[in-house]
Amino acid sequence: MHFPRKVRIVEVGARDGLQNESVPVSTSTKLELIRRLSDSGLAHVEAASFVSPRWVPQMADHREIMLALRDGHAKSTTAKSATTYSVLTPNMKGLEAALECGVREVAVFGSASESFSQRNINCSIAESLERFAPVMEHALKTGVRVRGYVSCVLGCPYEGEIAPAEVAAVARELKAMGCYEVSLGDTIGVGTPLKAKHMLERVNREVPITQLAAHFHDTYGQALANLYAVLEEGIAVIDSSVAGLGGCPYAKGASGNVASEDVLYLLEGMGIETGVDLAALARTGDWISRTLGRPNGSRVGQALMASD
Ligand code: HMG
Ligand code: MG
């Protein structure tokens, strides 16, 4: 395979990032973050989760966020084309609430690990797929696009090693149900490049590379190396999080997603287009880190701000 010419970035900081913040984050801060992300040229921003507020309190304002976006309150002032604002919907309740807010793209999220599935969404892998089926069916009927996630593709906090065949099986089911893309999550950031490449090769026997995305966390500092390995296999969609925000509430010790600024710097260095303005994104990363009172998790963001 060869490196792609263009990569689509799916910015997950406002969801995957903020869902794990221990300090409360106001709805207006979230909307400001989302607006700034769109302004930097990101065409796909995951904005909220329609999950139980008891499970993930930080996402409890999903309705307010999505209604505000629908009504244009956080509309980008400079973005060239409309940004897609997607949300997580684990079940019909989540989907119905999201549809009421005018959401046009949702994601279902499964796992390659039985234990993680139980801890994260309170059901087995098989039960989760059964729950997703009507969600998919209803979403597709109403013209809403559905993305699929598989968690723990390179390791699980409860089970350790996960066989690539397990990942491939869940990815195949999600695609068969109608997900337009399946995002492969190294939820706890334990992967290394050759492992990532082998896992992808196995999944790619079931799902075309053009329908796969890499969603890597950076707990062990391997995320960029892992991305390089899967880019070489032809992956052209990368999930990342501004300032490396995040972690996972059901994966103790997991750090944030790979920082979007770091991914952009890598891609720019390889001559791969993204359509995103790195300098603008670095300013947003600096702003949200200061606002949350946390260190900026992007090395590139830190370097750019220091030289500003
Ligand atoms: P459950 O307890 O099995 O569900 O939870 P239930 O149907 O029995 O309902 C229990 C209560 O939740 C009820 O409320 C429902 O109304 C409510 P009560 O009567 O007790 O007051 N409820 C909901 N409320 C709002 N929205 C909903 C909803 N559904 C039920 N959609 C459930 C099952 C899936 C709801 C729960 O386990 C949950 O919300 N889990 C969320 C987990 C989550 O958000 N995890 C983080 C995202 S995954 C991730 O980060 C990984 C990823 O980034 C990829 C990677 O990194 O690898 C995607
Ligand atoms: Mg994640």
Q: Is the CB of 216 under 6 A from ligand 1?
A: no
The per-residue pLDDT for range 147-185, each reduced to its tens digit, is 999 999 999 999 999 999 999 999 999 999 999 999 999
State if residue 50 touches ligand 1 by the CB under 6 angstroms criterion: yes
Number of alpha carbons in the 13 Å side-chain half-sphere of residue 16? 34
pLDDT at 250: 62
Mean pLDDT of the 110-120 span: 97
What is the CA(90)–ligand 1 centre distance, in A? 6
Domain spans of the chain? Answer: 104-240
> Ligand 1: distance of its center to the CA of 49 in Å?
9
CA atoms in the 13 A half-sphere facing the CB of 305: 20
Q: What is the mean pLDDT of residues 134-142?
A: 97
pTM recorded for the entire structure: 0.97
Q: What is the CA radius of gyration of the chain?
A: 18
Question: What pLDDT score was predicted for residue 170?
Answer: 98
**Portion of the chain with pLDDT greater than 70, in percent:** 95
Residue 308 is predicted with a pLDDT of 77
For residue 73, the model assigns a pLDDT of: 75
Distance CA 211, CA 179 (A): 9
Name the residue at shortest CA distance from atom 30 of ligand 1.
52
HSE-CB for 99 with a 13 A CA cutoff: 17
Q: Ligand 2 being an ion, which residues bring their Cβ within 5 A of it?
A: 16
pLDDT digits (tens, 9 = 90+) for 48-77: 999 999 999 999 999 999 999 999 876 667
Residue 214 has pLDDT above 70, yes or no: yes
User: Which residue out of 19, 21, 52 has the highest number of ligand 1 atoms within 8 Å of its CB and is therefore the one to mutate?
Assistant: 52
Just list the catalytic residues.
248
pLDDT grade for 82, boundaries at 50, 70 and 90: confident
Inter-axis angle of helices 62-70 and 27-39, nearest 10: 40
**High-pLDDT (> 90) share of the chain, %:** 89
Q: Does the structure show a pLDDT above 90 at 199?
A: yes
Query: Which residues touch 81 (CB under 8 Å, ≥6 apart)?
Result: 43
DSSP string, the chain: ----SB-EEEE-IIIIIGGG-SS---HHHHHHHHHHHHHTT-SEEEEEE-S-TTT-GGGTTHHHHHHHHHTTTT--SS-SSPPEEEEE--SHHHHHHHHHTT--EEEEEEES-HHHHHHHHSS-HHHHHHHHHHHHHHHHHTT-EEEEEEE-TT-BTTTB---HHHHHHHHHHHHHHT-SEEEEEETT----HHHHHHHHHHHTTTS-GGGEEEEEB-TTS-HHHHHHHHHHTT--EEEEBGGG----TTSTT---BPBHHHHHHHHHHTT-B----HHHHHHHHHHHHHHHT-----HHHHHHHHT-
What is the rounded CA–CA span in Å between residue 85 and residue 272? 24
CATH 3.40.50.2300 fits 104-240, yes or no: no
Residue 254 pLDDT: 67
For 243, other C-beta atoms within 10 Å of its C-beta total 30
Distance 122 CA to ligand 1 centre (A): 8
Say yes or no: CB of residue 57 within 6 Å of ligand 1.
no
Kindly report which listed range (6-10, 71-75, 149-153, 260-264) carries the lowest average pLDDT score.
71-75
Confidence check: pLDDT of 34 > 90: yes
19, 51, 245: residue to mutate for ligand 1 pocket, most atoms within 8 A of CB: 51
Q: 1 pLDDT exceeds 70? A: no
Ligand 1 nearest atom to the CA of residue 91, by list position: 31
